[in-house]
A and B are shown apart, each in its own frame.
Chain A
Amino acid sequence: MTGTSLRTYLITRLALVVPMVLILLTLVFLLLRVAPGNPIEAALGGHVPPSVVKPIEHRLGFDKPILTQYGEYLWNIVRGNFGTTITDNRPLSQIIAQNGAATLELTFFAMLIAIVVGVLIGLVAGRYRDTPIDIGGRLFGVFVYATPPFFLGLMAQLVFGVWLGWLPTSDQASPLTQALLQTHTNIYFVDAIWDGNWGALWDVVQHLILPASTLGLITAGVFIRLTRVNVIRTLRDDYIEAARARGIVERRVVFSHAFKNALVPVITVVGLNLAILLGGAVLTEETFNWPGIGHELVLYLQDRDYTAVQGIMIVFALVVVAVSVLVDFLNAFVDPRIRY
C-alpha cells in the first residue's frame, strides 16, 4: 500500500481501532464473566448467607442473561463507567486516577533509565564492535533479559535497603510525605514540584530509584540490541564514509551522524515496548509495594474481585490500543516509507 496518502493511512488505522478494542473487551468479558464460580460469593467471603448474595447479584446485574450482561458491559464502558469494586466499594475511576498515576510515574522513569542505559551501552558496543566491550555489552543485554524483575528487585532490596541502608525499598513516598503532600495529579513527582516542596521531592526521588532502576534495567536489553545494530549499520553507510573522507573527526561522526540515525527507531520502539513494560511493572510494583495499578490488580485477584479485575484489564486494554495507534501515527510521520 505504498502509494496511499498519509491521511488515508491514518483513517484506516483509526478504523481498525474499533474491532481491536472490541476484541480485547470481549476477551476480558469472556474470561471473567463466563468463567465458572460465583463471583459475588467469592468476593464476599464466608460471613454472608445465600439470602444476601442474591440481592447483590441482582444489583450488579449478574442474574441477567449473559448477552444482556455483555451489552450492558459494553455500554457502561462506552459511557466511561468502569464499575465499582465488589470487595471495597471503590469506583474504578478512583483506582485509575490514583494507582494509574503511580504506575505512570514508575514506568516513565523506568523507560527513561532503559533508554539512557540501553542507548549508551548499545552505542559503545556498536562503536567497539567485536571487542571485549561489545561482548560485555551484549552479554549484559542477555542477562538483563533473563533476570526476572522480582529477582533483581529482591537483590536490590537486599543490597541497598538491608545491607547498605541507603534507600527505601517500598512505597511511593515515606508515610509522612504521603500524608502531607497535596495531591494535584497523584503523580508524586509532579505534585512535589507543583508545591515547590523540595523535601518531599527528594523523598519521592529516593523512593523511585530502586523500583525505576529495576524495571528500567530489565527493559534496557531491547535498546542495547537495537542501538548497537544501528550504529554498526550506519557507521558503514555511504554518507558516513563520505563524512569520514571529508576528514570529519571520528567522534563527531559517531555522535552527530550515527547516533542521530540510530535514535529514530529507538523512539518508536519505546511505544512497542509498552506491553512488555506493563507486564514488568506488575511484578516490579508487587516487589516494591509500589501502589500502582498492577499492584492493585494482584490484590484484587487475590480477593477474587471480578469487577475490579475486569475494570483494570479494560484499562490495560485501552492503554495498549491507544499506544499502538500512537506508535503507528508517529511512525507514519517520522518515516514516510512506512505505510503498512
Chain B
Amino acid sequence: MKRRFRWALAVLTVALAAIAAVVATTAYGGARSSGIIIDGTTGTVVNIDPANQYDYDSFTVDLNIFQGLYGFPHGAKLQPVLATGCSHSANLKTWTCQLRHGVKFSNGDPMTSADVKYSFDRVLKIKGDQGIYTLLSDLKSTTTSGKYTVVFHLKAPFSVWPYILSTNAGYVVDHKTFPADKILANTDTAHMIGTGPYVLTKFTPSQQAVFGLNKNYWGPKPKNSGLIINYFTKSSTMKLALEQGQLDMAFQTFAPNEIAAMQKEKSLTVHSGHGVVIRYLVFNVKRPPFNNLNVRKAIAYLMPRQTIASRVYHGTVEPLYSMVPKGLPGQTDAFKTVYGAQPNLAKAKAAMKAAHVKTPLAITLWWTPSHYGDASADEYAEIQRALDASHLFKVTLKSAEWAQYSGALGKQYGAFQLGWFPDYPDADDYTVSFYQTGSFYSNGYSSKKMDGLIAKERAAKTDASRYSYLKQMQLLGAQDLPTIPYWQGNMIAVSQKNVQGINNTLDAAYYMRFWLISK
C-alpha cells in the first residue's frame, strides 16, 4: 500500500517535470508583429487631454496625436507645422500666423483658424490642475481673421513666442469633439481627435496606449503601421521584457547599470543622442545656513561632477557647468569660468573661512527616490561623500516621494535636488525658469539685475543680442548661486537590432518621434 502511495507521488513528480520541460522547450519569445512598433517606458501618463498635462510622458503620447502651429519635425530647429509662418509686430506683442491649407483632423474634419482659437481659449478657460496654462500666461487674447489666419495678442514683448506655440499648451484640437470647459476622460479615445500622424485607439491607464495610423494625415506617412507604448513601474522588468523580445524598443528611463549591461548585449542597440535633461541642486537663499553666499560657494567648489558622471551614471551623463546644457546656442560654461572644472578643496576652505561659520557645518540635503530614477540615491550618496570628505560639512540626506517633494521644495527645504526637461529647447527656458523672481521652486532668489537681463533678453530683436544677454544671465547665476547644475543627460533609447530610425529622432529637441521608426 505504501508502495502505491509512492507510485502516485512518482507520477506527480514526472508530470511536474514534463510541464517544466514543455515550458523550457517553448522558451519564452513573446508575441511579435511585423509593422507595429512596441515601445516600453517607465513613465506615467497623467492626462491625455493636452489642456491638462505638464509632464513628459503625457507629452510623449500627445506628440503622436496632436500638433501645434510650430514644432520640431526634424532636429532641434523650430519650424512651422500647422502654420506656414508667423510675423510679429515691431513691439513683439502681436503675432500673426498663417495656417497650412488642407489639413484635416483624423476624423476628417477640416482644421481651420476656429479650431486654433478654440484650442488656446480652451486651455486658458480650463486652467487645468497640472498648470500647463501658465505657459500661456502672457497671452491676452486670440483672434481669427478668415479661415486661415490667427492673431495672438500678448501682454508683454515675447521674442520666443513661436516656441510656446510648439508646446502642448498650443496643440490644436478638434473643436467639434473636445468640450470647451472640461477635460476629456483619459479613456475617451473616440473624442481625442488631433491632426498628428496617429490616432489613439485604446488607452489603459498605467498599462498601455495603442495607436493606429491617421488615415487623413496631411504629412508624410509614418514608417510603421502602428505603435504600442507599454508602461512599466520598474526599469528592471522593462529591461527583461526588452531582452525577451516582447518590446521592440524602450525609451525613458533605465538605471545606469542597466544601460551599461545592455551595451554589451549583441541583440540590442543602445542609442545615445543629444541630451537636454539636466540635474541641479537648488538652495533656498533665504534659509540658513544657505543664505550665506560663501557657504553656497564652498559647496560649488566641492561639487563632484566627474565622480557622479562616471561612478553613478557610468558615463551616460556628462558634467554640466551651466543651467543651460551644452549644444544649445547661447550656452556658456559659467560654473567652469567661476569655480573651475574640478573640485577645489583649497578654495572651498577659503570660502568657508570667509563665511565665518564653524566647520564642519551640519547641513541637510533633500532628494527624491523614484521620480528621477533609482540612481538619485547613489547620486546624493556621492555628493554627501564629497562634502563630508572635505571636513567642511557634515551632510544629512533626507528624501521624500515626488508628490510630497514637489509640493515642498523651497517652501520647506533648504537645499534640494531637481531635474528639468525643457518646455522648449531654447536657452531661454533654462534661464528664465530658474532665475526669474518668484520661480516655481520658491527658493527666495530675487535679483533686480537678473530680472533686468531677462526683460532685455525677451525683448531682444536679434538672436545675437539675445544670446549675449543669456550668457550674462548664466554668469550672474553662477555668482549668485541660487542653483548648482551638475550633469546633463543624454537621451537614451534601447532597441532590438532590427529597429531603424531611432537615431533620426534623438536630438536636442528631446522628442521621441515614433513615426520615423521602422523595423
Which residues of A does B touch, CB under 8 Å? 37-38, 41-49, 52, 56, 86-91, 94, 98, 120, 124, 127, 157, 161-162, 164-171, 174-179, 199, 203, 206, 209, 249-251, 254, 286, 288-289, 291, 295-296, 299, 302-305
CB atoms of B403 and A166 under 8 A apart = no
CB atoms of B24 and A87 under 8 A apart = no
Kindly identify, within residues 1 to 49 of chain B, every residue whose CB is under 8 Å from any CB belonging to chain A: 1-2, 4-5, 9, 12, 23-24, 27-28, 30-33, 36, 38, 40, 44-47
Residue in chain B with minimal CB distance to A162:
B240
In the complex, which residues of chain B have a beta carbon less than 8 angstroms from the beta carbon of A42?
403-404, 407
In the complex, which residues of chain A have a beta carbon less than 8 angstroms from the beta carbon of B202?
179
CB atoms of A250 and B131 under 8 A apart = no
8 A-B residue pairings within 8 Å (CB atoms): A38-B407, A44-B129, A45-B407, A168-B244, A170-B232, A170-B234, A302-B370, A304-B403
CB atoms of A88 and B45 under 8 A apart = yes
Over the window 215-232 of chain B, the binary record of Cβ atoms lying under 8 Å from chain A Cβ atoms (1 yes, 0 no) is 000000000000010101
Per DSSP, are chain B's interface residues mostly helix, strand or loop, or mixed? loop
CB atoms of B23 and A167 under 8 A apart = yes
Assembled-state Cα–Cα distance A161/B244 (Å): 9
The interface size of chain B toward A, counting residues with CB under 8 Å, comes to 61
- Give the contacting residue for B28; candidates A91, A120, A168; CB below 8 A: A168
| Chain A CB within 10 Å, residue with most, of B36, B187, B404, B440 | B404
- Give the contacting residue for A251; candidates B4, B205, B246; CB below 8 A: B4
Given contacts A38-B407, A90-B187, 5 further A-B contacts (CB under 8 A): A45-B407, A90-B186, A169-B241, A178-B207, A203-B30
CB atoms of B186 and A175 under 8 A apart = no
CB atoms of A48 and B186 under 8 A apart = no
| Chain A CB within 10 Å, residue with most, of B12, B40, B183, B210 | B210
In the complex where A44-B129, A88-B45, A249-B1 touch, is A175 in contact with B38 (Cβ < 8 A)? yes
Could you tell me the distance in whole angstroms from the C-beta of B402 to the nearest C-beta in chain A?
7
Q: Is B124 an interface residue (CB 8 A)?
A: no
Over the window 54-75 of chain B, the binary record of Cβ atoms lying under 8 Å from chain A Cβ atoms (1 yes, 0 no) is 1000000000000000000000
Assembled-state Cα–Cα distance A45/B204 (Å): 23
Assembled-state Cα–Cα distance A38/B407 (Å): 9
In the complex where A162-B240, A302-B370 touch, is A46 in contact with B440 (Cβ < 8 A)? yes
Residue in chain A with minimal CB distance to B238:
A170
Assembled-state Cα–Cα distance A245/B38 (Å): 68
In the complex where A45-B403, A302-B401 touch, is A89 in contact with B206 (Cβ < 8 A)? no
Assembled-state Cα–Cα distance A249/B40 (Å): 59
In the complex where A175-B208, A299-B206, A302-B402 touch, is A165 in contact with B407 (Cβ < 8 A)? no
Q: Is B409 an interface residue (CB 8 A)?
A: yes
CB atoms of B230 and A169 under 8 A apart = no
Q: Is B237 an interface residue (CB 8 A)?
A: yes
Could you tell me the distance in whole angstroms from the C-beta of A203 to the nearest C-beta in chain B?
6
